């Protein structure tokens, strides 16, 4: 049996969670204040994931804005974060764009889309 | 020119205050929002990470998304936001002077003014780090603007001084963009940032956090070439012999925020030394009738959700005052800080003859304490409110509410002060 102490990063409350593992399988999760904490803890000890927020190049914006904030609509495998940044290095979007628009479907992983975080005219 | 209400600043505080004023009966044509930047949204435009809006919208948004929601709400309320309008002065009789490329130099009077100018970062000058003044030293917020809005990197090898949330967020951001963040050092024995940010911004990328450490020297003449970090003793003085020098080209400072109160001072509004913002009552009205303050200009908030909430209080109060719906106060109580409490908002409670709702007092503690009781006591030492907490920290805002009955009792007894304090159990 093995226990691991984690800090939940899903919301600013930052609950301290204790996970118990037996033969690599989660048998108990304690300390979370809400169900999202449990999901986080299970993922964290088996397959850690993180939401990526970054910017991409923006062309054609009326106010001369040069960057567009973007995010993955779901958390991405943590080990893919740097590969995702490389993937986006030359990627540019043309204004106008509306908040919530999917810019890249199945980005890096199936079911994870890259979406715009801002409306720019 | 005359407007019923002028809101100075189009960040989350200014937008929420204006929306609330409309919701409380003021016509949007009678409100003018003045914003010096080319777009509304304030500092949130550069805070591209997620973590905003869980309280307010029940979902985790990025800064630009949170700002976008309020910009949409302002539009839906019929409000217009005047951008590129820099307010230069405010007088105690509520005359606002601003300049903008479209209108030139304009003076506009108002029945009420809401101050929502936000805050700015402390700079190196306020910190006196020895060394020459090479290029490559930025506040974390300036670096955030460069990377996230202007689209360029301020450096490649980075040391960060200060472990507040902006510093932690920038450690991750610079790392993802290809820089090497060598370490984050923090003068205090604890981090001022959220635990989640220590995990997802530092531990995820193996960036070391050195508590009780500070920068003692900066090398380089034209550009930063090295930064020397040393451990400090309990009096926060560097301990000789503990110095470590890092080869780097950039030093980011994340050493705190200060409310931007030049206009406030210019109008003669009294400032609380502890918050660096105006003294206010529970409506967020300053000591000058009809001038209100909310958001980071009043005191530094960690969560924008609370900024919106506070701004809504100010917006409603200003609308009610303009529409003649404010019940006059029959008694005022000043709020004092007792053991373990650094400041409170509001600093004063104005009680009307028939108080209609409870008053929530927000405050910050002075240090990390475990197992405490938070209390409000009246002038005779009677405990009016108490709340037990397993832990409190300076980084997190606490609050206690005074009920309508307590307010009536304070007015009836002509009690002049109440005290917010902390007891260790
Ligand atoms: C660099 C930085 C990073 C931050 N990161 C986070 C974070 O990650 N998470 C978080 O919850 N909080 C963060 N904060 C705190 C954040 O500022 C607040 O949560 C919130 O944005 C404050 O809203 P506000 O409207 O009071 O101030 P602001 O957002 O600062 O808005 C003030 C507005 O007033 C305008 N203004 C100022 N003076 C004048 C004038 N004279 N005339 C006209 N307009 C004027 C400014 O241009 C600005 O748009 C950060 C703060 C800073 C400074
Ligand atoms: S367990 Fe729930 S409340 Fe606690 S930090 Fe995680 S998401 Fe937030």
Nearest CA in chain B to A54: B48
Decide the pairing of beta strands B348-352 and B329-337.
Answer: antiparallel
Would A13 be classed as within a structural domain?
Answer: yes
Two structure tokens written together for B290 = 């009809």
Q: Is the CB of residue B82 less than 8 Å from the CB of residue B99? A: no
Please report, rounded to a whole number, the percentage of residues in chain B having pLDDT higher than 70.
99
Taking CA–CA distances from A67, the nearest residue in chain B reads B149
Q: Is the pLDDT of residue B155 over 80?
A: yes
What pLDDT score was predicted for residue A10?
Answer: 86
**A41 and A78 co-located in one domain:** no
Does one domain contain both B250 and B265? no
Q: How confident is the model over B183-188, as a mean pLDDT?
A: 94
* Same-domain status, B232 and B87: no
Compute the distance between CA of residue B190 and CA of residue B210 in angstroms, rounded to an integer.
10
Q: How many domains does chain B have?
A: 3
Domain boundary residue among B294, B311, B326?
A: B326
State the pLDDT confidence band at B126, using cuts at 50, 70 and 90. Answer: low
CATH code, domain carrying A109: 3.10.530.10
Are A57 and A42 in a shared domain? no
Three-state DSSP class for residue B245: strand
Query: What pLDDT, on a 0 to 100 scale, did the predictor assign at position A61?
Result: 85
Which two structure tokens, joined as six digits, stand for B299? 């005191």
Counting ligand 2 atoms within 8 A of each CB, the residue from A6, A7, A9, A13 with the most, and so the one to mutate, is A13
Q: Do B296 and B274 sit in the same domain of this protein?
A: yes
Backbone φ and ψ of B423, nearest 5°? -120, 135
A76 found inside a domain: yes
Percentage of residues in chain B having pLDDT higher than 90: 87
A21 plus A6 within the same structural domain: yes
A71 and A95 both lie in a single domain: yes
Angle between helices B63-76 and B12-23 (to 10 degrees): 30
Close Cβ partners of A110 (under 8 Å, ≥ 6 residues apart): none
What per-residue confidence (pLDDT) applies to B54? 86
Note whether A85 and A116 are within 8 A (CB): no
Q: Total domain count for chain A?
A: 2
pLDDT band at B127 (very low <50, low <70, confident <90, very high): low
Tell how far the Cα of B47 is from the centroid of ligand 1, in angstroms.
Answer: 10
* Summary mean pLDDT of chain B: 94
Contact with chain A for residue B149, Cβ under 8 A: yes
d(C-alpha B254, C-alpha B258), whole Å: 12
Of the candidates B305, B306, B407, the one whose C-alpha atom is nearest the C-alpha of residue B355 is B407
CATH number of B333's domain: 2.60.40
DSSP string, B330-362: EEEEEEEE-TTEEEEE-SEEEEESS--S-EEEE
Q: What is the pLDDT of residue B125?
A: 56
Search chain A and give the residue with CA nearest B170: A54
At residue B173, the 3 state secondary structure works out as helix
Smallest CA-to-CA distance from B315 within B113, B117, B118 is with B113
- Domain match, A62 and A110 both: yes
If asked whether residues A20 and A38 sit together in one domain, one would say yes
Q: How far apart are CA B149 and CA A63, in angstroms?
A: 12
Question: Do A41 and A66 share a structural domain?
Answer: no
Which B positions 42-71 lie with beta carbon below 8 A of chain A? 45, 48-51, 54, 60, 62-65, 68
pTM recorded for the entire structure = 0.93
CA B59 to chain centroid, in Å, comes to 22
Q: Which atom of ligand 2 is nearest to the CA of A37?
A: 1
How far apart (Å, rounded) are the C-alpha atoms in residues B379 and B373? Answer: 19
Domain that holds residue A23: 2-47
d(CA B363, CA B355): 22
**Between residues 14 and 33 of chain A, which touch chain B (CB distance below 8 Å)?**
14, 16
Tell me: do B274 and B157 sit in the same domain: no
CATH code, domain carrying B144 = 3.50.50.60
Whether residues B273 and B383 share a domain: the answer is no
Give yes or no for residue B129 having a pLDDT over 70. yes
B127 and B35 within one domain: no
Say if A121 falls within a structural domain.
Answer: no
pLDDT digits (tens, 9 = 90+) for A6-36: 999 988 788 899 999 998 889 999 999 899 9
Q: What is the residue range of B378's domain?
A: 329-425
pLDDT in tens, B290-330: 999 999 999 999 889 999 999 999 999 999 999 999 999 99
Using alpha carbons, select from B58, B86, B87, B57 the residue that is nearest to residue B72: B57
Query: Which residues fall within 8 angstroms of residue B237, CB to CB, at 6 or more apart?
Result: none
Res A63: pLDDT: 77
Q: Summarize the confidence of residues B191-220 as an average pLDDT.
A: 93
Q: Which ligand gives the minimal distance to the CA of B196? A: 2
Distance between CA A108 and CA B220 in Å, rounded? Answer: 42
Residues A61 and A111 in one domain: yes
Using the Cβ of B76 and the Cβ atoms of chain A, whether some distance falls under 8 Å is answered with no
Q: Are residues A15 and A70 in the same domain?
A: no
Phi and psi angles of residue B244, each rounded to the nearest 5 degrees, phi first: -130, 135
């Amino acid at each position: 049996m093995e226990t691991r102490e984690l800090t939940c990063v899903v919301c600013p409350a930052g609950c301290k969670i204790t996970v118990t593992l037996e033969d690599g399988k989660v048998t108990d999760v304690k300390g979370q204040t809400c169900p999202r904490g449990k999901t986080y803890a299970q993922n964290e000890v088996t397959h850690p994931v993180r939401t990526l927020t970054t910017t991409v190049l923006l062309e054609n914006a009326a106010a001369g804005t040069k960057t567009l904030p973007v995010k993955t609509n779901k958390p991405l495998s943590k080990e893919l974060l740097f590969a995702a940044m490389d993937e986006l290095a030359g990627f540019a979007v043309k204004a106008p764009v509306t908040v919530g628009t999917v810019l890249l479907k199945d980005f890096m992983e199936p079911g994870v889309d890259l979406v715009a975080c801002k409306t720019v005219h | 020119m005359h407007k019923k209400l002028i809101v100075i600043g189009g960040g989350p505080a200014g937008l929420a205050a204006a929306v609330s004023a409309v919701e409380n009966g003021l016509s949007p044509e009678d409100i003018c929002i003045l914003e010096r930047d080319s777009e509304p949204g304030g500092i949130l435009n550069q805070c591209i990470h997620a973590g905003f809006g869980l309280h307010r919208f029940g979902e985790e948004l990025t800064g630009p998304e949170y700002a976008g929601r309020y910009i949409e709400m302002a539009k839906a309320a019929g409000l217009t936001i005047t951008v590129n309008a820099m307010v230069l002065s405010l007088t105690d009789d509520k005359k606002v002077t601003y300049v903008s490329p479209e209108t030139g130099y304009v003076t506009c009077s108002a029945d009420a003014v809401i101050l929502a100018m936000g805050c700015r970062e402390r700079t190196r000058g306020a910190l006196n780090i020895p060394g020459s003044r090479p290029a490559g030293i930025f506040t974390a917020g300036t670096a955030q603007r460069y990377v996230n809005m202007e689209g360029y990197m301020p450096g490649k090898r980075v040391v960060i001084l200060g472990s507040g949330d902006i510093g932690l967020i920038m450690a991750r951001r610079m790392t993802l963009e290809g820089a090497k963040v060598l370490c984050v050092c923090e003068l205090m024995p604890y981090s001022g940032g959220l635990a989640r940010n220590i995990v997802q911004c530092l531990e995820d990328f193996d960036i070391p956090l050195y508590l009780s450490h500070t920068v003692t020297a900066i090398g380089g003449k034209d550009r930063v070439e090295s930064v020397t970090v040393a451990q400090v003793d309990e009096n926060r003085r560097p301990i000789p012999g503990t110095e470590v020098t890092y080869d780097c080209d950039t030093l980011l400072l994340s050493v705190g925020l200060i409310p931007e109160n030049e206009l406030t001072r210019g109008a003669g509004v009294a400032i609380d030394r502890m918050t660096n913002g105006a003294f206010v009552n529970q409506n967020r009205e300053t000591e000058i009738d009809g001038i209100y303050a909310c958001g980071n200009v009043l005191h530094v908030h960690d969560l924008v959700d609370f900024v919106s909430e506070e701004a809504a209080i100010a917006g409603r109060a200003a609308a009610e005052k303009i529409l003649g719906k404010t019940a006059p106060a029959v008694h005022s109580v000043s709020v004092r800080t007792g053991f373990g409490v650094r400041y409170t908002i509001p600093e004063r409670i104005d009680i009307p003859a028939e108080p209609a709702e409870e008053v929530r007092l927000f405050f910050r503690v002075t240090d990390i304490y475990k197992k405490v009781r938070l209390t409000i006591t009246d002038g005779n030492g009677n405990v009016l409110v108490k709340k037990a907490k397993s832990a409190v920290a300076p980084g997190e805002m606490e609050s206690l509410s005074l009920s309508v009955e307590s307010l009536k009792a304070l007015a009836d007894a002509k009690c002049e002060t109440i005290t917010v304090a902390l007891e260790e159990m």
